Amino acid sequence: MSRDDSLSNVSGDHRDTAGLDAFSCAYGNSSLPQSTKHSEEPFATYFNEKITIPEEEYSCFSFRKLWAFMGPGFLMSIGFLDPGNIEADLQSGAVAGFKLLWVLLLATILGLLLQRLAVRLGVYPKVSNVLSCLSLTHIIGMYVPRIILWLMVELAIIGSDMQEVIGSAIAINLLSLGRVPLWGGVLITIADTFVFLFLDKYGLRKLEAFFGFLITVMALTFGYEATRPGTQGHVRASCSGCRTPQTPALCIGEPVTQCHTTCSAFSRQVNRNNKQEVREANKYFFIESCIAVFVSFVINVFVMSVFAEAFFEKTNEQVVEVCQNSSSPHAGVFPNNNSTLIVNIYKGGIVLGCYFGPAALYIWAVGILAAGQSSTMTGTYSGQFVMEGFLKLKWSRFARVILTRSIAIIPTLFVAVFQDVEHLTGMNDFLNVLQSLQLPFALIPILTFTSLRPVMSDFANGIGWRIAGGIVVLIVCSINMYFVVIYVQELGHVALYVVAAVISVAYLSFVFYLGWQCLIALGMSFLDCGHMVSISKGLLTEEATGGYAK
């Protein structure tokens, strides 16, 4: 088969190559040659601003170079610290005590390994070779699968934005002692989008510094709660008797940050044709990611420890008595019965205020507000890259953030106006389940792309990483799917079971299709059935030029 024929088979028509940009070309389109007709205009993202890496003689470690690479890892760690994960932490602590800290640690380690793959994809792939992008068409497939995949990714982004809205609205309500209603807090969150867009005009490093500031606020506020008398505890690596539905909350949504992680890797000026520089960039990015993930892990431990030590196995009656003795205006929030205390990010602040004084409530609310605000721009950038990649729509950040926030606010505002805070916080659990369903659509492509030699060359995953990564992806997806089933079973309505069954069949069918395409791309040509060309033959070479094949 000639090279021209193979290109024709791989790319198909012009339309069918668009979707793969979301996971490869869109991440580094600023690196595409300007002669390419699809690169006449640069993407309107801050990643066009490159951070210069100081030139020094090669050494094992340099703090100057590490400082230059600092930033993307903390942007990535926001995925571990959104209001949904914070609520999962406090619920796990209150229900299971310290028994689930080992689950948090395991989930964090798995998330770090997946982030390493995402960064490697952003550092090395020679996306200036358009044909390397075309060779990944196997992953996205034809027009309909591409649109479905785009919708799934958008659902995850919008779900994350809804959690930011919910967390911020509840924090504002707590800080104002209820004077600002929940629906008012939802509307106020519109303003924060413009604040971030304003900060973005001042440059990448200042924006990264602001993210660092928000993470510092979370560390100080939640750390303060953890150091209060009566909240110091210890780790017990067991899970006997803990309620099953609470276990997955630590894992759900944490690893799904590859999109902006891969994108942010392009913000550093790295000569991707120099293997030594690529290795060095991978090293410093990984060190920085370890630091950022460790900080996020400590913050999550702070939250879980507070509620595990102080409120584990507490009853509503005990909490009501303490709140009444402290003259808290929120004592009526809890039913006066002997049922086990069930907390969320709203009740969590109230309980802290009752036990440790008003200052604890305000500090908790500030931490939740910081957690909510920190996820705003990560979702904006991820959504912008996804839209540009899948649909080739180059929207400005202003237009993109207005679209995302509008979709996120409408259902949240509806619940805030016509329901109570219980229903609003209950949306966080649903959104965690929703985001767990999106895991395969991030994990499968990221593992596949980093395993492809036409993309990663000498930096492609070896057989060990492929097997280990495949096992991790399978375990993570299986665990989350299991707990989705648990969540559905708690709905307790036959009609909902039927709807869930239909959706599950369609969902699993598409995941199977995506996995099948990925296996073909990884070289299992016996699965091809004659419909696609295996890229493992290495027919697409760097010497080929001329843009998209027709």
Q: What is the pLDDT of residues 435-477, one digit of tens each?
A: 777 888 878 888 888 887 777 778 888 888 888 878 877 877 7
Token code pair at residue 44: 């309107």
**pLDDT computed for residue 529 by the predictor:** 64
Q: Could you tell me the end-to-end alpha-carbon distance of the chain, in angstroms, rounded to an integer?
A: 17
Contact 386, 157 (CB under 8 A): yes
- Kindly state the average pLDDT of the residues 41-66: 67
Confidence of residue 263 (pLDDT cuts 50, 70, 90): low
If one compares 422 and 444, the residue with the highest pLDDT of the two is 444
Query: Which residues have a Cβ under 8 Å from the Cβ of 155 and sit 6 or more positions away?
Result: 434, 438
Residue 318 CA to residue 324 CA, distance in Å, equals: 10
Q: What is the mean pLDDT of the chain?
A: 71
More confident: 22 or 425: 425
- In degrees and rounded to multiples of 5, residue 522 shows phi and psi of -85, 0
Q: Quick one: average pLDDT of 348-364? A: 86
- How sure is the predictor about 49, in pLDDT bands with cuts at 50, 70 and 90? low
12: confidence class by pLDDT, cuts 50, 70, 90: very low
Model confidence at 27: pLDDT above 50: no
What CA–CA distances, in Å, run from 328 to 206, 353, 538?
Answer: 40, 8, 69
Cα–Cα dist 460/117, whole Å: 10
User: Strands, E, within 366-407: which ranges?
Assistant: none
pLDDT of residue 377: 65
Q: What is the pLDDT of residues 474-501, one digit of tens each?
A: 877 777 677 767 767 777 777 878 888 8
- Does residue 541 register a pLDDT over 60? no
212: pLDDT strictly greater than 80 = yes
Instruction: Specify the pLDDT at position 136.
Output: 45
Q: How confident is the model at residue 8 (pLDDT cuts 50, 70, 90)?
A: very low
Q: Give the Cα separation of 474 and 484 in Å (integer).
A: 15
Report the C-alpha gap between 197 and 134 in whole angstroms.
33
Comparing CA positions, the residue from 139, 8, 194 lying closest to residue 448 is 139
pLDDT of residue 312: 82
Higher pLDDT, 439 or 265: 439
pLDDT at 231 (0 to 100) = 53
Count how many Cα atoms sit within 13 Å of the Cα of residue 434 in the half-sphere of its side chain: 20
Q: C-alpha dihedral over 473, 475, 478, 484, to 10 degrees?
A: -90
CB 297 within 8 A of CB 148: no
Question: Is 80 exceeded by the pLDDT of residue 315?
Answer: yes
pTM of structure: 0.76
Is the pLDDT at 320 greater than 60, yes or no?
yes
**What is the pLDDT averaged over residues 234-246?**
47
- The average pLDDT across 333-342 equals 82
Please name the residue that has the structure tokens 């699968």: 145
**Domains in the chain, CATH or no CATH each:** 3-537 (1.20.1740.10)
Determine the Cα–Cα distance for residues 342 and 88; give it in Å rounded to an integer: 12
pLDDT at 265: 59
| DSSP letter assigned to residue 315 | B
